[in-house]
A and B are shown apart, each in its own frame.
Chain A
Amino acid sequence: MLFSLRELVQWLGFATFELFLHLAALLVFSMLVALRADMFTPTLSWWLVFVPLFAADGLSTYFTAIVSIRLYQENEKRLAVLRLLWVLTVLSLKLVCEVLLCQKLAEQEQARDLWFGLIVSPLFILLQLLMIRACRVN
């Protein structure tokens, strides 16, 4: 639409397969949220609802580790380290945001001090990083 797949892969630094993985996780997650909210399964804990997102993060980390090791073996050391650092930064920011949101939803009473500005702050950092990367890729 606005970006071609090639541009997206270059900009985000993720492989097409990883994008596919995260999209699939988002689909399953939204289904679980709808089920939970409509009270078909009121006993379903929020931590379980977030499992697809956590699983996608884990699989993506594993995939990146393998790709980086392969790159390292093929003597593309600089590329391997840069890719590993970038993907780990993005994934950890995403994970922090997800864990905080899940905690807020799961423990409404205890997590009253946890305001949404704090929960979304990793996303603000991520947005700045993505903007800087877009300028570099450009």
Chain B
Amino acid sequence: MKMSLAQRVLLCWIFTLIFLIMLVLKLDSKINWNWFLIFLPVWTFDTILILMLVVKMAGRCKPGYDPRDGEQNLKRRLWHLAALLLKLAFCLTLCSRLEKLTDVWLTVVCVPLWVLLGGALVELGCSVFHYRRD
């Protein structure tokens, strides 16, 4: 089953909207919740994405699947999984830093984010370059 673009956008839209509303309420000190609770939409959204990816990757284990078909595809999915985990790591360390559970530098907290952004830049850069060469 493949979701249409509007459905996928709606999924992102709902979670972003809820997260933004909760973030604004927290920053304006209207609510006094734990930061981990404020990030609840982010956790939920990431869990859904990881589950979807894992299910898609598990499809390779089905009998009759030709592994030569999706060698490139598998690499891409592994990178997507790594990106999601990096994002999760960044959000988790950020939350614990905001809750003052740890006292690490913000530079350390940001390292997963930088790796993620660097990877995304390389991927985008490759497609820009390929486009021109074509």
Interface string of B106-122 (1 = CB under 8 A from A): 11011001100110110
**Closest CB of chain A to B18's CB: distance in Å?**
11
**Closest CB of chain B to A121's CB: distance in Å?**
9
A131 beta carbon closer than 8 Å to chain B: yes
**Closest CB of chain B to A134's CB: distance in Å?**
4
The bracket for how many chain B residues form the interface is 35 or more
- With contacts A20-B124, A117-B24 known, is A30 near B10, CB below 8 A? no
Q: Tell me whether B117 and A117 are in contact (CB under 8 A).
A: no
- Nearest A residue to B111 via CB reads A34
Q: How far is the CA of A41 from the CA of B53 in the complex (A)?
A: 41
- Nearest A residue to B76 via CB reads A1
Q: How far is the CA of A138 from the CA of B9 in the complex (A)?
A: 10
- With contacts A1-B84, A20-B124, A27-B114 known, is A134 near B5, CB below 8 A? yes
Q: Tell me whether A30 and B83 are in contact (CB under 8 A).
A: no
List, in ascending order, chain A residues with CB within 8 A of B117's CB.
23, 26-27, 30
Count of chain A residues near B, Cβ 8 A: 34
Segment at the interface with A among B36-44, B57-65, B125-133: B125-133
- Nearest A residue to B84 via CB reads A1
A63 beta carbon closer than 8 Å to chain B: no
Q: Tell me whether A23 and B124 are in contact (CB under 8 A).
A: yes
* B interface residues, Cβ below 8 angstroms from A: 4-6, 8-13, 16-17, 20, 23-24, 27-28, 49, 53, 80, 83-84, 105-107, 109-110, 113-114, 117-118, 120-121, 124-125, 127-128, 131
